[in-house]
Copies of this chain bind each other. A is one copy, B any other.
Amino acid sequence: MTPPDPRIRPATDDDWARIWPFFSTIVAAGETYAFPDDLTLETARGWWMSEPPSLTVVLEDDGQIVGSAKMGPNRPGRGDHVGTASFMVDPAASGRGVGRSLASYVVDWHREQGFRGIQFNAVVETNTAAVHLWQSCGFEIIGTVPGAFRSATHGEVGLHVMYLPLV
């Protein structure tokens, strides 16, 4: 286990307005996430900022928030021993390892919290940078729902379900 990246910390309410610019850019690009089409600064807040037992974190580098992740139980009740997570990295900061650092944080957090695994429900198959990052963390593709995402560039593409066992 690598030491935690000191640039990562829990998000505060005030951070949301600093996440929203790249969050909205990423959603509008239409390549990676199925969120409602008409989100605003205010209506998107509830889609990203989490309450316990879930957690939203930010990675702040040199005074700039350049990435964020949310994590927590994938299901309630009898499914709450498997976690899930979502990631947003400012495209202006791509290639600097922000996604990998957040991924490492998320895996460690789930392990510390006692989750038995982490499930990603919908990884866009053409988002190969993400797919390869998760595979390098040990995630495997459990299956792919064909054509379940309308990519702005690629049309209907599959959504991978990915899973990492932690015990």
**Number of copies of this protein chain within its complex:** 2
A116, closest chain B residue (CB): B147
CB-based contact A78/B150 at 8 Å: yes
Question: Which DSSP category, helix, strand, loop or mixed, fits chain A's interface?
Answer: strand
Q: In the complex, are the beta carbons of B75 and A34 less than 8 A apart?
A: yes
> Is A95 interfacial (CB-CB < 8 Å)?
no
In the bound complex, CA of A74 to CA of B121 (Å): 11
Question: Which residues, 73 to 117 on A, are CB-close (under 8 Å) to B?
Answer: 74-82, 116-117
Tell me which residues across on chain B come within 8 A of A30, comparing CB atoms.
78
Q: Which residues of B contact A147 (CB under 8 A)?
A: 82, 116-117
Contact A78 B149 (CB under 8 A): yes
